[in-house]
Amino acid sequence: MDVKEVSGEIPLKEEKSVCNDPSVVKEGKAEILLSSSKKVFYNPVQEFNRDLSVAVLKLFAEDHRETLKNKKKQADPILRFLDNEIPQEGVKYEGGIKILEALAASGLRSIRYAKEIPGVNSVLANDLSAKAVESIKSNITHNGVDDIVKTNHEDASMLMYSHRKPTHLRFDAVDLDPYGCPSIFLDAAVQCVSDGGLLLVTATDMAVLAGNSPESCHTKYGSISLKNKACHEMALRILLQCIESHANRYGRYIVPLLSLSADFYIRVFVKVYTGQVICKRSTSKLSLVYQCTGCETITLQQLGIMRQVENHIKFSLPAGPPVGQKCKHCGHKHHVGGPIWSDPIHDGDFLARLEHLVSQEKVNLKYGTAIRMEGVIALLREELLDVPLSALLNAGYRVSLSHACRTSVKTDAPSDLIWKVLRAWEVIHPVKRDRLAPNSPALAILSGDSDKKEGAKEGSESSDSVPEVSFQHHPDANPPSRRRGLVRFQENPAPNWGPGTRATAMTESNRNNPKREKNQGRKRERSSPGISNKVLRVE
């Protein structure tokens, strides 16, 4: 059966603005000129990323205005009626948020922020490439946002370091969308964002984060990645712990609003706060991951334990390890990964507001990817916020789908029950045991303590200590997002797509590079007529 039939999804192509001139890109309310498209990085596939960022920042700017109003009321009650100005899109707002796009490239994102978010004071579009900055300047003038968007030609980290202190120089929102790994910018980013400010971070090096190179993941993110079915969600949790780690060094901590795995990248939206005391709680938000090399059963161990004792919080160290030398389910050994962020990766209230905003603005066609946004946000709202990894459904335990993988679910059911459900299902739908290798995890699990002796049937109850297994239909098994027919999992809009190629002008070191010039066209020279390049490129 096709996976699309199981998930109830309909393939969706991204909604694109129509423009006859290939050197002009229209997205949202912005229009950019790509006269130097070979030199300045632009990826049309990231429209969903930009649409979602605009929507999130709209809510953030709204909250920022309310916070300022409350401060004014507390300072002087007479001022409570004075600040009734309603910010408009594309109009500079003196009391609004200050945004930094540290790696602006074409400047499209910065221009959209200025033209589409009410309550923006300023947007600083920075890039290391002089050609990129020139392109941004022309696009700013072309879109008529010179009073809001300013350009800067500097190394992103040095720019952010220069805005650490005094605090009034900090940005209310910092957007990091690099080509590859963002970790080299995080130390500066967590310092230059204001208290309660928003940090938006993208990572596209999914091979590293998803377990293909655990040693590289540790050097970049300070965490060992594991290759498993839940690798994309684990990638999100690795990135969150990396940001938290950088923030803790300066007495700061993060609160995730939204964490998303989409297409070829992950994207997180976190608020950054200051508080030495709360930083002590970080060990209870991080966990090591023990993964069975056979059945892939996951066991987490928190780095620290936090519990309330009378009127104060007491911290202690956990005892471990939480697993034996071999997996109790299949007899295989364990790999150890992490640490990962094991606290909630979304804010439920914020997601509810975001879903409401998108459904309203969908009517006015404000987002080119509105249909996809509505489906993904609905799915995120249905996710269990505090369950880190994938499992199976069973009555009596919380369960949801995972936006990071259409064929997985998330649950707080124990692994004993998960494998018991599998054994009970196998009694009703037997598999041919002779097809399983003698040392296979599947055979070991199916041969374990099961309900076979009880003759499990659909709707029957189990008699052993693990909770009952019932395959009767549960009304919550079909989530609202699916019943509403929302598009929750995007199909690739084009074959062989991805993050694109790095812009040749993104770093100054690309200039006058003799090795680069020497190797230009070498792959084309190796190709022979009539032979596919896919065959030749075995590397």
Q: What is the DSSP string of 128-196?
A: S-HHHHHHHHHHHHHHT-TTTEEEEES-HHHHHHTTSSSGGGSEEEEEE--SS--HHHHHHHHHHEEEE
Residue 128 dihedral angles phi and psi, to the nearest 5°: -75, -25
CA of residue 216 relative to chain centroid, distance: 20
Distance CA 134, CA 129 (A): 9
Q: Which helix H or strand E contains 347, and what residues bound it?
A: none
Tell which residue, 262, 480, 439, has the closest CA to residue 355: 480
- List of residues 6+ apart from 524 with CB closer than 8 A: none
Distance CA 210, CA 467 (A): 33
187-242 pLDDT tens trace: 999 999 999 999 999 999 999 999 999 999 999 999 999 998 889 999 999 999 99
| Helix orientation angle between 47-75 and 348-363, rounded to the nearest 10 degrees | 110
CA 193-195-201 angle, to 5 degrees, is: 40
Residue 400 dihedral angles phi and psi, to the nearest 5°: -155, 170
User: CB–CB of 306/277 below 8 Å?
Assistant: no
* β-pair type (120-127, 149-153): parallel
CA of residue 454 relative to chain centroid, distance: 44
The full set of domain ranges for the chain reads 28-279+345-381, 389-478
Tell which residue, 386, 360, 364, has the closest CA to residue 374: 360
What is the biggest distance separating any 2 CA atoms in the chain, rounded to whole angstroms? 82
pLDDT at 26: 92
Neighbouring C-alpha atoms within 13 Å toward the C-beta of 538 = 3
Q: Which helix H or strand E contains 354, and what residues bound it?
A: helix 348-363
**In this structure, what DSSP letter does residue 77 have?**
G
Distance CA 52, CA 46 (A): 10
User: CB–CB of 270/176 below 8 Å?
Assistant: no
pLDDT at 514: 58
Tell which residue, 88, 83, 86, has the closest CA to residue 69: 83
User: CB–CB of 136/151 below 8 Å?
Assistant: yes
Distance CA 420, CA 327 (A): 15
pLDDT at 77: 63
**In this structure, what DSSP letter does residue 316 have?**
E
* β-pair type (120-127, 252-262): unpaired
Distances (CA, A) of 25 to 30, 99, 341, 364: 8, 23, 38, 20
Distance CA 204, CA 206 (A): 5
Residue 382 dihedral angles phi and psi, to the nearest 5°: -80, -15
Q: What letter represents residue 531's amino acid?
A: I
Total Cβ atoms within 10 A of residue 45? 18
User: CB–CB of 422/466 below 8 Å?
Assistant: no
65-116 pLDDT tens trace: 998 888 777 766 655 545 567 899 999 998 899 999 999 988 999 999 999 9
* β-pair type (399-402, 405-411): antiparallel
Q: Which stretches in the chain have pLDDT values below 70?
A: 1-22, 35-41, 75-84, 384-409, 449-468, 470-539
- List of residues 6+ apart from 66 with CB closer than 8 A: none
* β-pair type (265-274, 171-176): unpaired
Statement: 28-279+345-381 belongs to CATH 3.40.640.10: no
CA of residue 426 relative to chain centroid, distance: 36
- List of residues 6+ apart from 49 with CB closer than 8 A: 177, 202, 262, 265, 267
Roughly how many angstroms between the first and final C-alpha of the chain, as a whole number? 34
Looking at 467-515, which runs of residues are DSSP E strands?
none
**pTM of structure:** 0.77
Q: Which helix H or strand E contains 33, and what residues bound it?
A: strand 30-33
Total Cβ atoms within 10 A of residue 298? 21
| Burial environment of residue 190 by CB neighbours within 10 A (0 to 12, 13 to 18, 19 or more) | buried
